[in-house]
Amino acid sequence: MFASRPGVETASAGLAPDAEEPCSAELVEWADIIFVMERAHRARLQRRFRAQLKRARVICLDIPDDYAFMQPELVALLEKKVGPFLRG
C-alpha cells in the first residue's frame, strides 16, 4: 500500500509457516525499516533473524493481526502509524 510513494521501496512478507510470501534472511538484510503488527511478531522476527537484524529498525505498530487484507479500517490504521515514518 506504500509502494507508490516517491523514494520508498517496499516488500511484504509473513512469519507464519503458511505465509504467501515468507520472510527471508535476504529480505531482512535488505530492509532499512521493518514494520510488524504485534509484539509477538517482533519477538518471532528477532528469534529467527537475529543475525540479519544488525541494520534494520524494527517497529511494532501494535495493531491486532485480525483484519482482512486491505480492510478499510486496517488501511486507515496503517496510514496513521506507518505514514509518519515514510515522510522523512
Q: How far out from the chain centre does Cα 32 lie?
A: 11
Rounded distance, CA 72 to CA 88, Å?
25
DSSP assigned state of 22 = B
Q: Please choose, from the candidates 34, 24, 25, 29, the residue with its C-alpha nearest in 3D space to the C-alpha of residue 61.
A: 34
Q: Are 28 and 34 in contact (CB under 8 A)?
A: yes
Domain that holds residue 68: 25-86
Is there a domain that residue 46 lies in?
yes
Q: How many domains does the chain have?
A: 1
Q: Residues 59-69: what's their mean pLDDT? A: 93
Q: What is the pLDDT of residues 12-61, one digit of tens each?
A: 999 998 999 999 999 999 999 999 999 999 999 999 999 999 889 999 99
Asked, for residue 18, whether it belongs to a domain, the answer is no
Q: What's the pLDDT score for residue 64?
A: 94
Number of Cβ within a 10 Å radius of residue 35: 20
Using pLDDT thresholds of 50, 70 and 90, give the confidence band for residue 11. Answer: very high
pTM above 0.85, yes or no: yes
φ, ψ of residue 58 to 5 degrees: the values are: -105, 125
Does the residue 4 lie in any domain?
A: no
**Residue 3 domain flag:** no
Q: What is the pLDDT of residue 88?
A: 54
